[in-house]
């Protein structure tokens, strides 16, 4: 079984789902990623330190992307809320 190839495929899909904002599918892929990583580590040919570092880097990059997307959504929601509050305040000054 080519665990490295499967993990890289899952990481690519996970990155795509994070980019699309599909949190549900990303969670499913994250769980699948964990399962494959455990299987690989417990297999007859476990990953080398270099391979694990590569997987770790991919995961860190995806996490950074997800956090950035989350921050953008939060910023957008906050701006929308402030706009609604300003509109409500303006309307309340009209007789």
pLDDT at site 51: 93
Give the residue-averaged pLDDT of 86-95. Answer: 78
Q: Look at residue 9 and tell me whether its pLDDT is greater than 90.
A: yes
Where are any strands of DSSP class E within the chain?
none
Domains in the chain: how many in total? 1
Residue 68 structural domain:
3-93
DSSP 22: -
**What is the average pLDDT score of the chain?**
88
Query: What does the angle CA 64 – CA 17 – CA 14 come to, to the nearest 5 degrees?
Result: 70
Write the pLDDT tens digit of every residue in 60-87. Answer: 999 898 888 888 888 888 888 888 887 8
């Amino acid at each position: 079984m080519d665990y490295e190839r499967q993990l890289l495929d899952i990481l690519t899909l996970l990155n795509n789902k994070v980019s699309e904002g599909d949190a549900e599918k990303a969670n499913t892929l994250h769980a699948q990623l964990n399962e494959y990583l455990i299987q690989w580590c417990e297999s007859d040919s476990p990953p080398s330190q270099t391979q694990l570092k590569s997987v770790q880097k991919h995961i860190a990059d995806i996490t950074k992307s997800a956090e950035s997307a989350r921050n953008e959504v939060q910023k957008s929601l906050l701006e929308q809320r402030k706009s609604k509050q300003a509109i409500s305040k303006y309307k309340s000054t009209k007789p």
